[in-house]
Amino acid sequence: MRENLIKAASNAYLGCLCLFLPVMPLLASLVFLRKKYLLQYRSTARKLAIHIGALREGPVNHYFGDVMGNVSAVPVEIQGHCTKCGNCCMDRRCMFLEQTDENEYQCGIYHSPFRRFSNCGSFPLNKHDIERYACPSYFVVESVPIRFAPLVTAPQRASSRTL
């Protein structure tokens, strides 16, 4: 039942994105206060089409299933740091990703309050996220159960005192 609900929500969301694709550059310009999305309409529309294609490969299901729903398989601890490789941005296919150097990228809407409603703020959520995008720096710290051994006391010595 839950999987069907996730699939229906994902399909509805992707359908809306496809339906509104012609006006999405205008909406993105208004929502994120970046006029370049409207001024570069054709480029933005092409990037949006690529973005939607990348969303179909799993990030939307991940969002509705893990981020918005019950988070599953969240490890005790994830360590590492962002190397700005762009892999987690749908393998560099996110519409908002901007190249800053030869092998370095940054999110064009990182400081937007609307970003928190996306997958972006949750990366990496679990080991699957890290593996899906071949993240070069984040890793899951596997928890090792602590086992308590019974206390072994030293044998008691006979009292050497004599009365």
In the chain (163 residues long), the average pLDDT of successive 10-residue segments reads 87 94 95 94 96 90 74 69 91 93 91 81 81 90 68 60 51
**60 lies in some domain:** yes
Number of helices and strands (H, E) in the chain? 6, 4
Tell me what pLDDT residue 44 has: 96
Tell me what pLDDT residue 116 has: 76
**155 lies in some domain:** no
Tell me what pLDDT residue 1 has: 82
- What count of residues does the chain have? 163
Find out whether 85 and 30 touch, Cβ atoms under 8 Å.
no
Tell me what pLDDT residue 25 has: 96
**102 lies in some domain:** yes
**35 lies in some domain:** yes
Q: Cβ neighbours of residue 5 under 8 Å, at least 6 residues apart?
A: none
Tell me what pLDDT residue 111 has: 86
List the domain range (segments joined by +) for residue 66: 2-141
Does the pTM of the predicted model rise above 0.85? no
Q: How many domains, in total, are found in the chain?
A: 1
In the chain, the largest separation of any two C-alpha atoms, in whole Å, equals 104
- To the nearest 10°, the Cα dihedral for 125, 128, 133, 136? 80
Tell me what pLDDT residue 53 has: 93
Strands 77-79 and 139-141: antiparallel
**30 lies in some domain:** yes
Tell me what pLDDT residue 148 has: 66
**146 lies in some domain:** no
**55 lies in some domain:** yes
**163 lies in some domain:** no
